[in-house]
Amino acid sequence: MAISRRRFLKTTSAAGTVGFFAANPIGDAIAKTISADSTLMGFEPISASTTDSIKAPPGYQAEVLISWGDPLFKGAPKFDQRNDSKAQELQFGDNNDGMTFFQLSDSRAVLAVNNEYTNNEYLYVHQGKRINADDVRKSQAAHGVSIVELVKISGNWQVNLDGRLNRRITAYSKMEMTGVASGHELLKTTADPSGKQILGTFNNCANGLTPWGTYLTCEENFNGYFANSSDKGLGESYERYGLGAKDRGYDWFKYDKRFDMAAEPNEPHRHGWVVEIDPMNPNSTPKKRSALGRFKHENAALTVNSDGHVVVYLGDDERGEHLYKFVSKNKYVVGADSNRDLLEEGTLFVAKFNGAEGELKGQGHWLELTWGRNGLTPENGFPDPASVVIFARMAATQVGATTMDRPEWVAIHPDNKSVYCTLTNNKYRGVKETQPVNAVSPREKNPYGHILRWNPLNDDHTADTFEWDIYVLAGNPEVHQSGLMAGSENINKDNMFNSPDGIGFDKGGRLWIQTDGKYTNKGKFAGMGNNQMLCGDPRTGEIHRFLTGPIACEITGLTFSPDHKTMFIGVQHPGEDLAPSHFPDGGNSIPRSSVIMITRTDGGEIGA
311, 327 Cβ separation under 8 angstroms: yes
Task: Decide whether 317 or 344 has the Cβ nearer to ligand FEO.
Answer: 317
What string marks each residue from 176 to 215 as x (binds Ca ion by CB under 5 A) or -? Answer: ----------------------------------------
Closer residue to Ca ion in complex, CB, 192/516: 516
Residue among 167 and 297 whose Cβ is closer to ligand FEO: 297
Count CB neighbours of 313 within 10 A: 26
* Contact of residue 506 among ligand FEO, Ca ion, none (CB under 5-8 Å per partner type): none
**Per-residue x/- track, 296-325, ligand FEO (CB under 6 A):** --x------------------x--------
Orientation of helix 25-33 relative to helix 2-11, angle to 10°? 150
How far, in Å, CA of 456 to CA of 579, rounded? Answer: 44
The entry of Ca ion, ligand FEO, none near residue 542 (CB within 5 to 8 angstroms by kind) is none
Strands 465-473 and 108-115: unpaired
Burial of 236 (0-12, 13-18, 19+ CB in 10 A): exposed
Could you give the CA distance from residue 213 to residue 208 in angstroms, rounded to a whole number? 10
Regarding 318 and contact with Ca ion (CB under 5 A), the answer is: no
Q: Which stretch binds Ca ion (CB under 5 A): 222-230, 379-387, 551-559, 591-599?
A: 551-559
Q: Which of 52, 260, 278, 408 binds ligand FEO (CB under 6 A)?
A: 408
Nearer to ligand FEO, 359 or 405 (CB): 405
Asked if 220 is part of the footprint of ligand FEO (rule: CB under 6 A), the reply reads: yes
Question: What does DSSP assign to residue 411?
Answer: E
Let me know the angle formed at the C-alpha of 48 by 47 and 54, rounded to the nearest 5 degrees.
Answer: 95
> C-alpha distances in angstroms, 198 versus 91, 223, 566?
23, 16, 36
* Residue among 247 and 542 whose Cβ is closer to Ca ion: 247
Residue placing its CB nearer to ligand FEO in the complex, 305 or 514? 514
Cβ–Cβ under 8 Å, residues 527 and 514: no
Q: Shortest Cβ distance from residue 98 to Ca ion (Å)?
A: 8
What does the DSSP assignment read for 273-305? -EEEE-TT-TTPPPEEEGGG-SS-EEEEEEEE-
Least separation in angstroms between residue 54's CB and Ca ion is 17
Letters for 169-208 (x = contact with ligand FEO by CB under 6 A, - = none) are ------------------------------------x---
Per-residue interface string for the shown chain with Ca ion, residues 409-448, x marking contact by CB under 5 A: ---------------x------------------------
C-beta of 205 vs 439, nearer to ligand FEO = 205
Residues of this chain, 503-532, that bind ligand FEO according to CB under 6 A: none
Give me the residue whose beta carbon is nearest to Ca ion: 516
C-alpha torsion angle, residues 398, 401, 406, 410 (rounded to 10): -120
> How near is the Cβ of 267 to ligand FEO at its closest, in Å?
21
| Residues numbered 318-377 forming contacts with ligand FEO, rule: CB under 6 A | none
Question: Rounded distance, CA 73 to CA 163, Å?
Answer: 8
89 near Ca ion, rule: CB under 5 A? no
CB contact at 8 A, 405 and 449 = yes
What are the angstrom distances between the C-alpha of 257 and each of 225, 270, 288, 514?
A: 11, 15, 22, 37
Q: Which stretch binds Ca ion (CB under 5 A): 78-86, 386-394, 520-528, 549-557?
A: 549-557
Residue 105 beta carbon to ligand FEO: minimum distance, rounded to whole angstroms: 32
Restricting to residues 445-504, which ones interact with ligand FEO according to CB under 6 A? none
Shortest Cβ 296–ligand FEO spacing (Å)? 7
Closer residue to ligand FEO in complex, CB, 160/299: 299
* C-alpha–C-alpha distance, residues 260 and 267, integer Å: 9
| Per-residue contact flags (x/-) with Ca ion for residues 514 to 543, judged by CB under 5 A | --x---------------------------
Among residues 237, 597, 234, 232, the alpha carbon closest in space to that of 395 is found at 237
Distance CA 491, CA 536 (A): 11
Q: Which does 264 bind (CB under 5 to 8 A by kind): ligand FEO, Ca ion, none?
A: none
**Alpha-carbon gap, residue 579 to 601, rounded angstroms:** 32
**In terms of CB distance, is 424 or 476 closer to Ca ion?**
424
Shortest Å distance, C-beta 391 to ligand FEO: 20
Q: Measure the CA angle with vertex 418, ends 21 and 422; round to 5°.
A: 65
- Cis-peptide, bond into residue 268, ω within 30° of zero: no
Rounded to a whole number of angstroms, the minimum distance from the CB of residue 375 to ligand FEO is 29
> Quick one: CA torsion of 267, 270, 272, 274, rounded to 10 degrees?
-160
498-517 footprint of Ca ion as x/- string (CB under 5 A): ---x--------------x-
Number of residues that bind Ca ion (CB under 5 A): 5
Name the nearest CA neighbour of 510 among 484, 542, 480, 554: 542
Q: Which is nearer to ligand FEO, 94 or 408 (CB)?
A: 408
DSSP-derived letter for residue 485 is G
Site for ligand FEO in 94-133 (CB under 6 A): 116
Pairing of strands 407-412, 419-423: antiparallel
Query: In whole angstroms, how close is the CB of 22 to ligand FEO at the nearest point?
Result: 35
Residue 220 binding result from ligand FEO, Ca ion, none, given CB thresholds of 5 to 8 Å by partner type: ligand FEO
| Number of residues in contact with ligand FEO under rule CB under 6 A | 6
Residues forming beta bridges with residue 145, ordered by sequence position: 114, 169
Nearer to ligand FEO, 20 or 273 (CB): 273
Which of 607, 606, 597, 605 is CA-nearest to residue 62? Answer: 597
Q: In the complex, what is the shortest distance from the CB of residue 372 to ligand FEO, in angstroms, rounded to a whole number?
A: 32
Cβ contacts of 396 within 8 Å, gap of 6 or more: 321, 322, 324, 350, 367, 369
Q: C-beta of 116: minimal distance to ligand FEO in Å?
A: 6
User: Radius of gyration (Cα) for the chain, nearest Å?
Assistant: 23
Find residue 323's DSSP bridge partners: 315
Q: Which is nearer to ligand FEO, 99 or 187 (CB)?
A: 99
Q: Which positions lie near Ca ion, rule CB under 5 A? A: 408, 424, 501, 516, 554
Q: Which positions lie near ligand FEO, rule CB under 6 A? A: 116, 205, 220, 298, 317, 408
